[in-house]
């Protein structure tokens, strides 16, 4: 497949993944307080995460590693920093998913730190990644 098509699909997967993470964090913070509505909202968030956000993350990883292989970027310092930041984003996504699972089992539980600080952390990391990918410093 052509490099530009892979790159376009990679960007689309990233937008979906990051948008899903932001939606999960922000929605988890604004959940209704009454029992049944809250349980339904948490279940809906988990379905969204399992059907949209997680597959988009997986696709972003696969396409990103493919592009890195095609560009021979594995030894570049900017790529190593980006790779580490993407790993941190993936871990944050895992923390959010785990928190949703715990909230589904205990609907009275408040949104944990992964949701309260998730949006700011996600946006900050994505900004740094965008700079690294476009500018490619340390070459």
Residue 45: pLDDT over 80:
yes
Determine the pLDDT at residue 114: 65
Over range 11-27, report the average pLDDT: 93
pLDDT digits 0-9 by tens, 96-121: 888 888 888 887 777 776 667 889 99
CA distances in angstroms from 52 to 18, 56, 129, 132, listed in the order given: 11, 6, 22, 26
| Residue 60 pLDDT grade (very low, low, confident, very high; cuts 50, 70, 90) | very high
DSSP string, 41-66: HHHHHHHHIIIIIHHHHHHHHHHHHH
**Domains in the chain: boundaries:** 3-135
| Residue 10 pLDDT grade (very low, low, confident, very high; cuts 50, 70, 90) | very high
3 state SS of 139: coil
């Amino acid at each position: 497949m052509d490099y530009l098509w892979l790159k376009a699909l990679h960007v689309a997967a990233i937008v979906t993944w990051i948008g899903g993470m932001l939606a999960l964090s922000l929605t988890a913070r604004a959940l209704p307080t009454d029992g049944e509505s809250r349980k339904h909202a948490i279940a809906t968030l988990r379905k969204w995460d399992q059907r949209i956000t997680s597959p988009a993350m997986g696709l972003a990883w696969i396409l990103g590693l493919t592009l890195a292989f095609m560009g021979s970027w594995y030894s570049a310092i900017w790529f190593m920093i980006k790779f580490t930041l993407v790993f941190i984003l993936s871990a944050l996504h895992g923390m959010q998913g785990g928190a949703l699972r715990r909230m589904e089992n205990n609907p009275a539980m408040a949104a944990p730190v992964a949701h309260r600080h998730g949006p700011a952390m996600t946006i900050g990391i994505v900004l740094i990644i965008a700079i690294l990918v476009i500018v490619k410093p340390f070459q």
